[in-house]
Homo-oligomer: A and B are copies of this chain.
């Protein structure tokens, strides 16, 4: 136990509060608050005394009390479909790293691609009174929308800019990305193109890519895209399953656009094993540009997005909104890039 103990109040219940620090430093609690809050209205000498007291007593501010008194928290909520996807994990990391210097914590919700879970998780997270909520995609249930609207938090929707955001958005155009892939496949001479991805209801971003692909295919006057829907979340095994389904149901297919690199990579490896020549016999295109995409043989043609950059940008937009410096952007479209390699 400490040698130095507040004498006059028997209220020292073990936890060290600002009052303890104030007493130790011979100032008022308010002055301690100013020091902790880096207020400029403190004499240098006083500040040093208080900081010494903080060190000596190992004082750690209580954020709950701060939030309650100031009616504002230091928390941002991020709701993503799943942390299993390296893309979403990278986004979250971008958010955390950008917010850490500001002492803002990030709490995460996994919806597993379920709208019902999104609602429940949002409701739960709103109890923390976050200063901002970062969502995935532009498609949300009415309940989510009304919860958001009513709570008045800043909202940032990510991964999609093909629509109107609730509040702010940062991402890229999935439609254009899909269209770009379609044009590439058409121009390289593919005639019968397939798309493998999640269900349209669950993953509207993948759906947009599909629609973009369809547009390019239509413009090239090719047969309709053969679509294989798999349940989310998708893993490498789903890539093989998707490949199998395409080969079975549309055997003339000569190009597949997978909605994620995990699947495309697995498909390439499986084709190698089966002796299916890529891209001569079957062209393959992925999405996400995972690190291994450049390393497989043939290397994977894919679309590079910037998940970490997206997370960092979302965080910056939130900070800008909070500081009300006026330069808060409402919609930021990040570049995506078609990376042409050996597989298509």
- Interface class of chain A by DSSP: helix
Contact A151 B295 (CB under 8 A): no
A86 at the interface (CB under 8 A from B): yes
As a 0/1 sequence over residues 145 to 179 of chain A, the CB contacts with chain B under 8 angstroms (1 = contact) are 00100110000000000000000000000000000
Assembled-state Cα–Cα distance A128/B63 (Å): 5
C-alpha spacing A15/B107, complex, angstroms? 22
Is A129 a contact of B266 with CB atoms below 8 Å? no
A61 within 8 A of B: yes
Contact B92–A58 (Cβ < 8 Å): no
Whether A93 and B84, one on each chain, are in contact in the complex, defined by CB atoms closer than 8 angstroms, is: yes
A123 engages B62 (CB within 8 Å) = no
Complex Cα gap A236–B300 (Å): 15
What is the bound-complex CA distance between A237 and B295, given in angstroms? 9
| Docked CA distance A100–B110 (Å) | 9
Instruction: Please tell me if the beta carbons of A272 and B291 are within 8 angstroms of each other in the complex.
Output: no
List which A66-85 residues lie within 8 A (CB) of chain B: 66-68, 71, 73, 75, 82-84
The answer on a CB contact under 8 Å between A123 and B68 is: no
Q: Which residues of B contact A292 (CB under 8 A)?
A: 236, 265-266, 269, 292
- A127 within 8 Å of B (CB atoms): yes
Given the known interface contacts A86-B86, A107-B106, the answer about A60 and B96 at a Cβ–Cβ threshold of 8 Å is no
Q: How far is the CA of A103 from the CA of B107 in the complex (A)?
A: 12
Interface residue count for A (Cβ, 8 Å)?
A: 60
Contact with B along A100-112 (1 / 0, CB 8 A): 1001011111100
Q: Is the CB of A60 within 8 A of B297?
A: no
How many angstroms from the CA of A11 to the CA of B123 in the assembled complex? Answer: 23
- A90 at the B interface (CB under 8 A): yes
User: Is A64 within 8 A of B129, CB to CB?
Assistant: yes
| B73→A96 contact, CB < 8 A | no
Q: List CB contacts (< 8 Å) of A197-228 with chain B.
A: none
Contacting pair B110 A93 (CB below 8 A): yes
* Complex copy number for this chain: 2
The answer to the question of A46 belonging to the interface, with a C-beta cut-off of 8 Å to chain B, is: no
- Is the pair B107, A105 in contact by a Cβ cutoff of 8 Å? yes
Is residue A262 contacting chain B, with contact meaning CB distance below 8 A? yes
Scan A115-131; emit 1 where CB is below 8 A from any B CB, else 0.
00000010111111100
Tell me which residues across on chain B come within 8 A of A105, comparing CB atoms: 107, 124-125, 128
Chain B nearest CB from A49 CB (Å) reads: 21
Compute how far the CA of A237 lies from the CA of B107 in the bound complex, rounded to whole angstroms.
Answer: 31
Q: Are A127 and B90 in contact (CB under 8 A)?
A: no
Which residues of B sit under 8 angstroms from A64, Cβ to Cβ? Answer: 63-65, 67-68, 73, 128-129
**Is A45 close to B, CB under 8 A?**
no
Residue-wise interface mask of A (254-278) relative to B, using a CB-CB cutoff of 8 A (1 in contact, 0 not): 0000000010011001101100000
A sample of 27 cross-chain residue pairs with beta-carbon separation below 8 angstroms, ordered by A number, consists of A15-B71, A58-B150, A60-B123, A60-B127, A60-B151, A63-B64, A64-B73, A64-B128, A64-B129, A66-B127, A84-B86, A84-B89, A84-B90, A96-B108, A96-B109, A96-B110, A100-B110, A103-B127, A105-B124, A105-B128, A106-B107, A235-B291, A237-B291, A262-B291, A265-B292, A265-B295, A269-B297
3 shortest interchain CB distances as A-B pairs: A64-B67, A83-B93, A105-B107
